[in-house]
Amino acid sequence: SQQGEEDPQALSIQEGENATMNCSYKTSINNLQWYRQNSGRGLVHLILIRSNEREKHSGRLRVTLDTSKKSSSLLITASRAADTASYFCATDDKEYGNKLVFGAGTILRVKS
């Protein structure tokens, strides 16, 4: 069963705008991660946020985590055409041990 569920399923924005994607999960976690996948390629790790952290930044990425609501958001600021990709959240779900559980992803299209 899937742990993370991303919202929206698809997002289309203009270059320069900000993009926000959300992830909800069901159980207790140690970490939540975000990955990017360009068309036809493998996933690439973007950022990891631990359960005792509330916000984390990496370049144009900002991730927040609310463990009380079991949700996370990924914000990409000043988006570029090269940000066009699918974005997945993944949680480590304490019940499943040393494994990650991925959501179905958000497809982001940045129009130039």
Partner 1 sequence: DAGITQSPRHKVTETGTPVTLRCHQTENHRYMYWYRQDPGHGLRLIHYSYGVKDTDKGEVSDGYSVSRSKTEDFLLTLESATSSQTSVYFCAISSRTGRETQYFGPGTRLLVL
Q: What are the residues binding partner 1 (CB under 8 A)?
A: 1-2, 4, 30-31, 33, 35, 40-45, 48, 88, 90, 92, 97-105
Q: How far is the CB of 41 from partner 1 (least distance, A)?
A: 7
Cβ proximity to partner 1: between 10 and 78 the closer is 10
CB of 25 to partner 1, least distance (A): 13
DSSP conformational letter for 81 = G
> Which two structure tokens, joined as six digits, stand for 53?
């952290």
Report the alpha-carbon angle 40-81-5, nearest 5: 60
In contact, 99 and 1? CB cutoff 8 Å: no
Q: Which is nearer to partner 1, 18 or 38 (CB)?
A: 38
